[in-house]
Every structure is written in C-alpha cells, then in structure tokens.
Amino acid sequence: MDLTTQSTFWQFEPPYWFGQLQSSGTGLTEQEALQRLQKAGVAIKRKPALQKDLLLFINQFRSPIILLLLGAVVLSAFLGDTSDVFIILLIVLSSSTLSFFQERKAGKVVERLQSMIALQSTVLRNGIAKEVLSTQIVPGDVILFNAGDLIPADCLLVEANELHANEASLTGESFPVRKETGRKEEQTPLAERRNCLWQGTSIVSGTGKALVVNTGTNTLFGTIVKSGATISESTFEKGIRDFGYFLMKITLVLSLVILVVNLLNHKSVVESALFALALAVGMAPELLPAITTIAMSAGAKRMLERNVIVKKLASIQNLGEVNLLCADKTGTVTEGTISVERLVDSTGQESDYVKTLAFWNASFETGYSNPIDEALKKMSMPATALPQKIGEIPYDFIRKRLSIAVDTGQEKLLISKGAYPQIVAICTTIRLNDHQVEPFAPHLEQVQKQFEKYGEDGLRAIALCYKNIPAEAVTKEAETEMTFVGFVLLKDPMKAGIVETILNLKKLYVDLKIITGDNKNIARSIGLGMGIAHPKIVTGPELLNISPEALEHKAAKTHIFAEVEPHQKERIILALRKSYTVAYLGDGINDVSAINAADVGISVSNAADITKEAADFVLLENNLSVLVDGIKEGRITFANTLKYIFISTGCTFGNMLSVAVASLFLPFLPMLPKQIILTNFITDIPYISITADNVDQEQIVKPGKWDLKLIRDYMVVFGLHSSLFDVVTFVTLLYLLKSTEGAFQTGWFIESILTELFILFIIRTYKNFFRSRPGKYLTLLSLVGLVLTLGLPYLPFAGSLGLVPLPLVNLGAMILIVLAYIITADLLKVWFFRRETHNLSRIR
C-alpha cells in the first residue's frame, strides 16, 4: 500500500480505500481484525509484567540525592571503608524496595480503575454491529457513529446524515463542523476536509458510517502527540513542585554550611562530605512521591467502594479542595428518570393526535439516544402498524429539535419535536382542538402563558409541530412554515433525600449551583424543591448582556442558571473559579467544555464517550450523595499527604540546624553518616502507613488547601523547637554526662529517632494527640521502630554501626528529654494550628 496516499486519504472516494484496505461496507470479519491487530503489534503490545516492575524499581533511584548517595558509596568503596559501603547500600536498597512494593500495589489499583472506563466504539464485524474497545480498532474497520461518540481513529466518511463533529482540539474552531461524503483535493486545509473524521474529536449531532484508514501513532492526533504533548498540572502537583524547590534550596545551603564548618574544624574530608550528604538525604522528603502515589491510590480504592471511579489520580487532591459543586438538575437534584405526564394540544387538552405524532417521532429516531425519546417509546399505543420512515434530520445543539419524515399511506408528514422557542420559530400556523388550522400569531400569547404555567408546575414542556411534505427527501431547509400542534409534558421528580444531601454538602462547606437548559419557571420550581426560599436565577439571554467582571460577582450570588446554552456553561464555570474551587458534574455532550473548564470534572458511567473522556471522575451512580463521600475521601487523602510533609520538614530541618550549631564546638561528628541514613530508614517504616491513617472529622469538614506559607511557618516553628531539644541533648550528653564520642552519637541517634516517631502522633491531629485515635498500622510500625531503636545499641553488630550500649542514666536522660519534647510539642501544635486557623478566617 502506498503510505503517502494513506497520509492524504481524503483525496479518494470510499471505494478506492475499500479496495486498498481489503474491506467492504459490511466491515471486516473477526478473524481479519484479529490478524491485523496482531500484525500491527504496536496496538496490542504491552510491556511484560517483569519489565514494568523492573522499570518501576529503577525509578526509585532517580532522585538526584539518592544518586549522589550511591556515588558516595562508590567513593567509600574506593577508599576502602567497606562497612559504610554495605550499611548505607543496604539501607538505600531496603528503603527503595519498600517504596517499590507500595507503588506497585498503587499502580495495580490505577490499572483496574482505568479498565473499568475503557472507551468502546460500534464497529461492523462479520456485517453485524458490535461494541469493541477503541484500542482494538484496525485499518479497514467500519465504524458507526452517533452523537456523543468519541472518534478513535482517522476515518473516511462512507455515509453521513446531518453529521456534525467538534474538531476544536485540532483546529481551535469551537463551532461544530458539518461532515459529508465525497473527496477533497490533496492540498485541502485541515478545517475543510469535510469527508474525514479525526481521532480525538467527537460527534456532536447526526449519524454516520466511516472507514478506518489510520490508527495509533499514524493518526493526525498521534503525530501531534509524538511531536510534543502537553501535561496538565493539578493545583496539588504544582504545590508539591514548589515545595520541592523550596526545600532543595534550604537543604543545599545548610549542607554546604555544615560541610565548610566541619572542614574548617580539620575533620576528615571524606567523613565531612559523607556527613553533609547524609544530612541532605535526611532532610529530603524522599518518600514524598511514594506517599502521594500510595495515598491517592488508597483513596481511589476507597472511592471505588463508594461507586466513584478515579480517572486521573492526581485529581483526588483537587477534589479535597472543592468548595462549590455545579451540576445540571437532571439526575442530580431530580431522579433522572423522565416519564410522560401528559400530551396536550395547543389548548391544553389531552390529545391522541399529539400522542401519535410524538410516538412516531421518538420511535424512528436513530441519532442521539436520550431519556425523552425512551420515555415516549414506552407509552402504550393502539396495536396499529407504524408508518414508513422516509427521512430524518437528527437533533443538534444549534437547532435544538429532531425532525422525522413518515409516509402514513395517505400523506407524507414531517414531524418536529424540540425546545419551545426553536419550535415556535418555525411555525406559522396552529392546529386547535377542533382540528381547525389557523394563523399562529393571534394565539402566540396564550400558548406562551400555557408554556410558562407548565414550568411553574415543575413540568418540562417539549413542543411539537408538523407539516405535509411533497417529496421523500428531507433536509433542514424543510423545517419552515410548520403547524404548531401541542406539548409533550414530562416529569422528572425530585430525588428522595436531596434536601438532606444538600445539607450534607453545606456541612462540608460545599455550595451547590444548578446550571440547566430548562426554562426559568422550571428552575424556580426546582429551587423551591431544594429548600431555597427565594432562589436567585440568571438566564442564558441575560448572560449575553453581562460583562466578565460583572458576571464574576453576580455568579457568586446566583443559585440557578437557567435557559443556558452549552457554550455559556464554560463561561459561568470560569467566572465562578475566581471565587471558588469548582467541581462540575455533567453527562451530556454539551457539558464537555464546562467539565474541562472546572477544577474537577465529574461525569457518570452512562454519559457520552467524549464526556467521560474529559472527566477526572466517573460516578457509577448519578447521585449527589455518592459525591459527598467522594469529597470526604479527597480530603482524607489530602490530610494524610500533608501529615508526611509536616513531619519530614519540621524534625529534619530542626536536626540540620542542630548539627550546624553542634559542628561549631564538637571535636567530632555528632552522628556518623551511616547513622543518619539508618535514622532516616527507621522513621520511614511507620511513615509509609500514614496513607491508611485515621483522619479527624475536623480535618474533613473543611476543604483542604495547599498553602506553602503554612508549611514554611510550620517548618520554622517546629524546626526551632526540635533544635532546642537537640541542643539540650548535646549539652546533657557532652557536659553533664561527659559522654565519649560513641556514647554521644548513640544518645543523639536514639533521641533523634524517638522524637521523629512521636512527632508523627502529635502532628497527625490538630488537637491534643491523646484525643485522636491513630491508625492501627501506624501504631504497630511505630512500636517496631521504637523497639528497634532502643535495642540496636545492644546487638552484636552495633559496633559496625558506630553504636555503643548506653548506661542506664544516659538512656534515662534521653527518655526524659523525649517526654519533655512530646508535652511541649503537643502544646505548641495546638497553639500553632489555632493561630493559623484564626489568621486564615480573618483574611477570608
């Protein structure tokens, strides 16, 4: 096959490509598709489990500080210090292995979640339409498209019926592009290749049938990805990155200061370098990537148990920050199970004729499947033969109506059903209940009042009209000079317990705003049903006259946005983000732009493909109560991650300050490099379990917020507090107990580890530590660390670690210092967070 022509496939008609790809209008057989998939290799190639595990293990050593430490190991080996080589290498390998197994487990959780929301396409195989994974599509496949489908490959159109695609991701053009069969010249610009469908774009309206020409990296989208993909960064990820740079600067400065001081005091160059390097490793939160990944995957697993699928793991942290939820009313505030209440004519009387026309219109619809048509199809009708369908003009979000042409045997009718303003706009006559047809204008005011009254009663009114047509072929141009015939009245009852759910959201400091395309009368009825005494409503037409600055203030005070166009949803979300961290819940194609604009995008399992693809979370139940649990899980994950950051910065920063001071007057190193690395390893053991720790209700109630200033203030305050007790330890060991070098280093080794173990229990809660119950694994692993620390100096190999057995008086002194540290740290903690909370509320 000529690859050059395959890259410019729009210049040929479908028969040419059917021949080139050895396919036909009925698609491939299952056997042919499987053979092509296997031949392609790339499409189904997956890394073996062993290879993936090996790469993950190697990634544990990518940290620059760990690489420096391994370099120091090589240097020690070159100088013949074999004990340091084996000890430091053992600790580094143990820590990396522990992190590897935790990340591996987290990765398997993510893979499971992703498999649950894999996108599918409708493909002809053996001439029969079937759903297959989009990744299993090959050149030569024939795909059937409906509104809402995501396009999985570059395709050439074979059939199209009022087909419109959104190609904004490729061309930047926000308006849907009409697609049609045929051929285009080789030099035709991308935006004008109307006979092609492109991977990564989506179907907005209509139906179509297309031949797959290119897949994977051979697609237009694939080449763009290869040339340079952009990676979006969540708020939390940016915070972590900024924190990393901040910590790196402090670590480098203190390490250099300590190295210079030790060298000026004529201490060993190698020992001083290793000591400074070990302190840098101790200061670095090397477990942070593992902690965040494990915390988020554990949160994702818990959220799955609550029927929430996490698509983008990093978004869990963002969900914890959400303080405003925006949603359509259908399926969130209401049941989402639309039922037909009545079918009435233009005078408000129930009408069999209106019922018949509505039933025919819904029964023959083949485009975008929707609840309204499903409800109409379920109506009980007389056992009579359906008329013959002779044409269809599918629904789209510009016309907002669906037209079906039928041949009853006596007449040919075009029946249109849709939004009231769009139907009224194409009607020139009206059919009254006595079958009389009159000009529409004299009756328009009465019909308008009737429409508004239905909305006030909480009913959704879909308008219906018809006309006789002479020809069998129908196009959008035929939707003129029609006869208004009546309304389809639909009911979507309020969800049981919705008021309670809204109150639960408010308890979590999350406001709810409704954004709907329904008219303001229905919106007001919904607002009252939600428990809002005087709902403030802004309509789509009003938005046209509001400036961006004015909208920012008005949106914050509005409860419901009604009669909103799809493109206006994005504008509303962007305005609200000026004042809130916004989550948007949507399930339709018209919600995609709003989902992308929000801080957190949420969809449901039965949503359109393109909507699920855009979302960060997918709800298995279209229920706000499910999201309440999800927000709590997001806050738990955020709180547990922050615990590690607090602990790893306060103590280690304090230790480095202490060492900087001690290095000025000590004739020896206050702790050996291998002891510092061992300290880091022992404290890391319980730190891993932070992800499964209990979180106080007070930390879940309010949204989490990444605050680098808070972390910086905490590091300074608790670092100074930790340094104070380190200095007390130094003075006690050196001047009161007259300790030898080995006893001094052992004493500080024990005091350092015990303070880091106990600060974990203190900082994990904002109240007194004894008032909050820690997780069982955290308690168990901390006890293991405690026993190991106290027992190490008395083990046979303690000498190789530079540790010596301590006299009871020395050990007792260290324990008393640690007790004093615990009491004062707990009091300081309560004061610190109370002050920060007060300052934050004052700023707000």
Report residue 161: phi and psi, to 5°: -130, 100
Distance CA 250, CA 657 (A): 11
Q: Which of 66-75, 353-362, 505-514 has the highest mean pLDDT?
A: 353-362
Selected residue with higher pLDDT from 230 and 649: 649
**DSSP character at residue 434:** T
* Domain 234-302+630-843 in CATH 3.50.30.10: no
Active site residue 352: no
Per domain, the residue ranges of the chain are 3-43+138-228, 234-302+630-843, 308-335+495-620, 339-490
396-427 pLDDT tens trace: 777 889 999 999 988 999 999 999 999 999 99
- Any residues with CB less than 8 A from the CB of 48 and at least 6 apart, and which? none
User: What is the reported pLDDT for 169?
Assistant: 64
Distance CA 587, CA 143 (A): 23
Amino acid at residue number 261 = V
Beta bridge partners of 166: 202
Contact in structure between 515 and 567 (CB atoms under 8 Å)? no
User: What is the reported pLDDT for 43?
Assistant: 41
Q: Which residues of 166-196 are buried (b: 16+ CB within 10 A; e: fewer)?
A: bbbebeeeeebbebebeebeeebeeeebbbb
* Angular region, 481: left φ>0, alpha ψ -120 to 50, beta rest: left
Mean pLDDT of 691-698: 87
User: What is the reported pLDDT for 421?
Assistant: 92
Distance CA 412, CA 753 (A): 87
User: What is the reported pLDDT for 843?
Assistant: 39
Task: Using pLDDT thresholds of 50, 70 and 90, give the confidence band for residue 69.
Answer: low
CATH code, 308-335+495-620: 3.40.50.1000
Contact in structure between 84 and 275 (CB atoms under 8 Å)? no
CA atoms within 13 A on the CB side of 221: 18
pLDDT reading at 42 higher than 60: no
User: What is the reported pLDDT for 366?
Assistant: 81
Where do we find the tokens 């004739």? 667
Amino acid at residue number 413 = L
Where do we find the tokens 């902690």? 291
Contact in structure between 688 and 287 (CB atoms under 8 Å)? yes
83-126 pLDDT tens trace: 556 656 765 676 567 557 655 665 665 565 555 556 788 999 99
pLDDT reading at 841 higher than 60: no
Q: Which CATH number fits domain 3-43+138-228: 3.80.10.10, 3.90.660.10, 2.70.150.10, 2.40.10.120?
A: 2.70.150.10
Distance CA 191, CA 206 (A): 19
Distance CA 825, CA 722 (A): 9
Contact in structure between 510 and 325 (CB atoms under 8 Å)? yes
CATH code, 339-490: 3.40.1110.10
571-621 pLDDT tens trace: 999 999 988 989 998 877 678 788 888 989 888 877 766 777 778 888 877
User: What is the reported pLDDT for 21?
Assistant: 92
Contact in structure between 619 and 684 (CB atoms under 8 Å)? no
Report residue 386: phi and psi, to 5°: -70, 150
Quote the pTM value: 0.69
Amino acid at residue number 288 = L
Contact in structure between 120 and 132 (CB atoms under 8 Å)? yes
Q: Under DSSP, is residue 755 helix (H, G, I), strand (E, B) or coil?
A: helix
User: What is the reported pLDDT for 79?
Assistant: 47
User: What is the reported pLDDT for 319?
Assistant: 85
Q: Under DSSP, is residue 806 helix (H, G, I), strand (E, B) or coil?
A: coil
Q: Under DSSP, is residue 431 helix (H, G, I), strand (E, B) or coil?
A: strand
**Catalytic hit among 328, 492, 587, 616:** 328
Distance CA 449, CA 429 (A): 18
Selected residue with higher pLDDT from 567 and 632: 632
What separation, in Å, do the N-terminal and C-terminal C-alpha atoms of the chain show?
66
Angle ∠(197,201,207) on CA atoms, nearest 5? 55
**What tokens does 419 get?**
């939004």
User: What is the reported pLDDT for 813?
Assistant: 94
Selected residue with higher pLDDT from 695 and 281: 695
CA distances from 831 to 762, 835, 839 (A): 13, 6, 12
Distance CA 474, CA 477 (A): 8
pLDDT reading at 140 higher than 70: yes
Mean pLDDT of 524-542: 86
CA distances from 262 to 271, 275, 676, 686 (A): 9, 9, 16, 32
User: What is the reported pLDDT for 450?
Assistant: 94
pLDDT reading at 286 higher than 60: no
Mean pLDDT of 260-280: 69
